[in-house]
Amino acid sequence: DPAVRVEDLRVEYGSTTALDGVDVTVEEGEFFTLVGPSGCGKTTTLRCLAGFEEPTAGSIHIAGESMAGVPPESRGIGVVFQSYALFPHMSVGENVAYGLRFSGPPEGTTKHERVEELLELVDLPGFADRDPDTLSGGQQQRVALARALAPEPRLLLLDEPMSALDARLRERLRVQVREIQRELGITTVYVTHDQEEALSVSDRVAVVDGGRIEQVGRPRELYDAP
Ligand code: ADP
Ligand code: ADP
């Protein structure tokens, strides 16, 4: 089974059609990107994968298992959003540990060890006692990534995680995220409106427009003149 299989996914909000029949397959370990203009349905697709949104029609399978009626916390998914969703009243370590609230730490580790291990993974060793607001935007997004990865999800969803950063930090974070993804081998679905970003970072890219996938391919196969 592929890591993700989406078939004829449809979402309607009243008279607005957000998704008009999305079909997509993501292979195990792939870094797969949905790219397209604002309002084309990228976030809605991600929200359906995460289980935050009930599709009007269609199906989602993760590792061959139907996600119909499966709540977000039981899907084995980690999500990082656009804006920093860290809790400002909690330390960095507590924010990461929050990612373990449903799962607990992996077999054979304590919560504390797991938090330390994750902060090392995202290149923020020793940051556990810091307040989130003393960190740069890129550092905060890496903490959000550590929190999302804490329970060892099988699928990582990233919704424009770089968009609030300036160009230089965005480039650095993009490289870091890709390195971490490769190191873990975790299947990742990434959402961006930035075509250049999509082409530089992805194994495969799906071009989304008007609630449909117009094109899917490896970066060098896309946008080529016929
Ligand atoms: P993208 O992530 O590509 O910017 P979205 O998935 O957020 O696009 O939105 C797709 C379409 O669905 C847009 O037309 C948007 O206005 C509409 N939409 C998204 N969420 C809602 C909602 N909660 N209620 C009504 N319309 C929505
Ligand atoms: P607990 O859940 O243990 O009752 P807290 O809510 O205070 O306690 O913190 C949650 C978890 O956050 C802690 O168990 C610990 O694993 C993690 N944590 C908090 N601060 C640190 C830190 N400085 N270093 C490593 N982990 C930390």
pLDDT digits (tens, 9 = 90+) for 19-78: 999 999 999 999 999 999 999 999 999 999 999 999 999 999 999 999 999 999 999 999
Under 8 Å between Cβ of 212 and 58:
no
The pLDDT of residue 186 is 98
Residues 143-157 have a mean pLDDT of 97
d(CA 218, CA 212): 18
Strand residues in the chain grouped as ranges (E): 4-13, 16-26, 31-35, 57-62, 65-66, 77-80, 155-159, 187-192, 204-209, 212-217
Pairing between β-strand 77-80 and β-strand 212-217 as defined by DSSP bridges: unpaired
Ligand 2 center–CA 223 separation, angstroms? 48
Nearest to 161 by CA among 124, 153, 148, 220: 148
Nearest C-alpha to atom 5 of ligand 1 is from which residue? 41
What is the phi/psi pair of residue 184, to 5°?
-85, -20
Under 8 Å between Cβ of 96 and 136:
no
Nearest to 100 by CA among 153, 49, 158: 153
pTM (global) more than 0.80:
yes
Out of 96, 111, 124, mutate this one to test ligand 2's pocket (max ligand atoms within 8 Å of CB): namely 111
Ligand 2 center–CA 95 separation, angstroms? 9
Out of 86, 89, 94, 118, mutate this one to test ligand 2's pocket (max ligand atoms within 8 Å of CB): namely 94
As a whole number, the mean pLDDT across the chain is 95
Ligand 2 center–CA 91 separation, angstroms? 9
The pLDDT of residue 158 is 96
| Angle CA 66–69–71, to nearest 5 | 100
